């Protein structure tokens, strides 16, 4: 069924009615959910979220990146300098021998990649990285390699061996075989000069690459295509790899898991597909985290779902949590430190979620795994596009850019 709000053939009075119905449904749900999950209200919408060194790092549509204390909800640092929505966040090392992860890497609609010193918020460098929006970032720390993907359909490699030089990043190669904007990047280093790279686009195409670093003073990264995967019908929203499995979340209303993705054969069985009632925007397989537990969490619509994946071929839904009043866009593991009555420090696994409702919420993993599915409110029948708050009045977007941001923030 088509969406009456976004269908140009729908009469205006029906669009207005749909918007009123949706607005009232969301208003009511925002009241019902305003205290669950210890919500932290953001000034804007989180387009990307990372948990790093125990803090939440948010890429916002308000053109800033933000460091947040998850215990207090306070903003500890704000990184200003981009002139468009910040879409992606990653971290790299200032001192590669220590693995300090003290350099913040941000990508933006302003087509640049910026590096920041998290010790003092200082801008270290700005690189004109793509000819269109920067959509995603991935760092191979041991290889001193940054991989970026853009709306220009290009994947680019950047040298991170001298991040404090103050100069723009040095290009170390690119891939231009995708025919749609790049949406996700993941990978795994195999040695000091080789890696497996996964790339995905907004059409649902996933490509798996062998990366090898050439020798010489001006070495570049050479990519060789190994496999193309076409098991999703529409765009990939998130992709995670690890322990010989590739996990993907897609706008085709499925989360899928594929075993041994880098060594596929014609006889390889198809991926396991988990159907959802809405587009799956976020995915968190705990098996690929330090926790290494056989559970999968997904965000589809405003609901977090938890699956027991002890048998990957037979996923078992064990919980549904009405977590937000708008689409869940990110899920991450948070090792939360607590001090007990005995004064001993304990680390307990929590899950952090964020949503287009403009909040970050926190969930004790033990509760998510044991809580029985609760009755859910009747979902709204219509969806609407919401305006984006901009704090930088000098940032202007074209008609195409406005449409892409509207699609990004649409709940379809």
Q: What is the pLDDT of residue 98?
A: 75
Confidence of residue 310 (pLDDT cuts 50, 70, 90): very high
Statement: residue 54 has pLDDT above 90: yes
Q: Which two three-digit tokens encode residue 58? A: 């948010």
Statement: residue 164 has pLDDT above 60: yes
- Residue recorded with tokens 């991989």: 147
The count of other CB atoms within 10 Å of the CB of residue 120 is 7
Q: Which two three-digit tokens encode residue 276? A: 């959802």
User: What residue ranges do the domains of the chain occupy?
Assistant: 36-292+330-372
**Global confidence as pTM:** 0.86
Find which of 97-106, 194-203, 212-221, 262-271 is predicted with most confidence, using mean pLDDT: 194-203
Statement: residue 134 has pLDDT above 70: yes
Q: Rounded mean pLDDT of 36-43?
A: 95
Burial of 354 (0-12, 13-18, 19+ CB in 10 A): buried
Count of helices and strands (H, E) across the chain: 3, 28
Q: Which two three-digit tokens encode residue 401? A: 């850019």
Assign 408 to helix, strand or coil.
helix
Structure confidence by residue, pLDDT tens digits, 241-267: 999 999 999 999 999 999 988 776 655
Residues 239 and 149: beta-carbon distance below 8 Å: no
Statement: residue 5 has pLDDT above 80: no
Structure confidence by residue, pLDDT tens digits, 269-279: 789 999 999 99
Q: Which two three-digit tokens encode residue 45? A: 């919408």
Q: What is the pLDDT of residue 381?
A: 40
Q: CA separation (Å) from 375 to 22, 219, 303, 320, 321?
A: 20, 58, 12, 9, 9
Q: What is the pLDDT of residue 9?
A: 57
CATH of the structural domain 36-292+330-372, one choice from 2.130.10.10, 2.30.110.10, 2.40.50.100, 3.40.50.2300? 2.130.10.10
Mean pLDDT of the chain: 88
Structure confidence by residue, pLDDT tens digits, 338-368: 888 888 889 999 999 999 999 999 999 999 9
């Amino acid at each position: 069924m088509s969406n009456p709000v976004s269908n140009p053939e729908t009469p205006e009075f029906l669009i207005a009615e749909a918007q009123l119905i949706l607005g009232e449904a969301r208003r009511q749900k925002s009241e019902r959910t305003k205290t669950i999950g210890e919500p932290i209200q953001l000034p804007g919408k989180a387009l990307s979220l990372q948990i790093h060194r125990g803090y939440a790092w948010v890429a916002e549509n308000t053109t800033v990146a933000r460091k947040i204390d998850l215990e207090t909800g306070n903003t500890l640092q704000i990184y200003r300098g981009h002139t468009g929505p910040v879409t992606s966040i990653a971290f790299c090392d200032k001192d590669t021998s220590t693995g300090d992860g003290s350099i913040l890497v941000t990508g933006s609609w302003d087509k640049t990649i910026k590096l920041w010193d998290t010790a003092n918020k200082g801008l270290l460098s700005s690189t004109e990285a793509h000819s269109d929006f920067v959509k995603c970032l991935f760092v191979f720390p041991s290889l001193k390699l940054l991989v970026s993907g853009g709306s220009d359909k290009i994947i680019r490699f950047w040298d991170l061996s001298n991040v404090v030089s103050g100069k723009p990043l040095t290009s170390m190669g690119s891939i231009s075989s995708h025919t749609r904007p790049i949406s996700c990047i993941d990978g795994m280093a195999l040695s000091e000069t080789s890696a497996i790279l996964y790339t995905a686009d907004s059409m649902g195409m996933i490509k798996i690459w062998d990366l090898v670093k050439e020798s010489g003073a001006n070495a570049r990264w050479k990519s060789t295509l190994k496999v193309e995967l076409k098991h999703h019908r529409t765009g990939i929203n998130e992709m995670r790899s690890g322990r010989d499995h590739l996990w993907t979340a897609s706008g085709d209303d499925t989360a899928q898991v594929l075993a041994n993705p880098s060594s596929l054969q014609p006889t390889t069985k198809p991926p396991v597909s988990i159907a959802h009632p809405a587009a799956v925007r976020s995915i968190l397989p705990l098996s690929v985290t330090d926790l290494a537990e056989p559970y999968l969490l997904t965000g589809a619509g405003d609901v977090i779902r938890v699956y027991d994946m002890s048998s990957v071929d037979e996923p078992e839904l064990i919980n549904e949590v009405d977590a937000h009043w708008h689409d869940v866009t990110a899920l991450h593991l948070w090792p939360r430190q607590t001090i007990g009555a005995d004064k001993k420090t304990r680390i307990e696994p929590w899950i952090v979620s964020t949503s287009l409702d403009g909040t970050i919420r926190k969930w004790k993993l033990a509760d998510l795994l044991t809580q029985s599915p609760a009755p859910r409110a009747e979902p709204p029948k219509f969806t609407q596009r919401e305006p984006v708050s901009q704090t930088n009045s000098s940032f202007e977007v074209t008609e195409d850019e406005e449409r892409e941001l509207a699609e990004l923030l649409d709940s379809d």
